[in-house]
Structure 1
Amino acid sequence: MCDALATTKEHIPPKALFPKQKDLLREFSLRKELITVPSCEEHNNNKSKDDEYFVYLLASMATT
């Protein structure tokens, strides 16, 4: 959305919503074929903390 050069890929939905391979019982990855869109490094990195916070919110709501 900004005028900066898109040098990274943003995952849609965020990769943080899916378990890492080491946390799965089977040998497939839920993170492997996510949709990506071009993004500048600044906005992609800044959004990562928001993604982590969103995951924590979802996890806290799931236990209630």
Structure 2
Amino acid sequence: MIQVRVFDHEHEKDLEKDMNRFLKQLDENNLIDIKYNVAAIQEEEEDEEQIYCFSAMVIYKA
């Protein structure tokens, strides 16, 4: 059976840690693909900072 696991974090290091924890328990032969995305959102106020969303989807065989 093909399954997916979605990860979503505001900081890339948090995404990395979470994914590595999951991948560590996954048999390497069951990994199919990893899709990665970064989105940046500008706050409406001019002096506000950007908000980042780092996400990834792991596609694997269960």
Structures share fold, TM-score greater than 0.5: no
Structure with more relative contact order (C-alpha pairs < 8 Å, separation 6 or more): 2
> Larger radius of gyration, structure 1 or 2?
2
TM-score (norm 1): 0.26
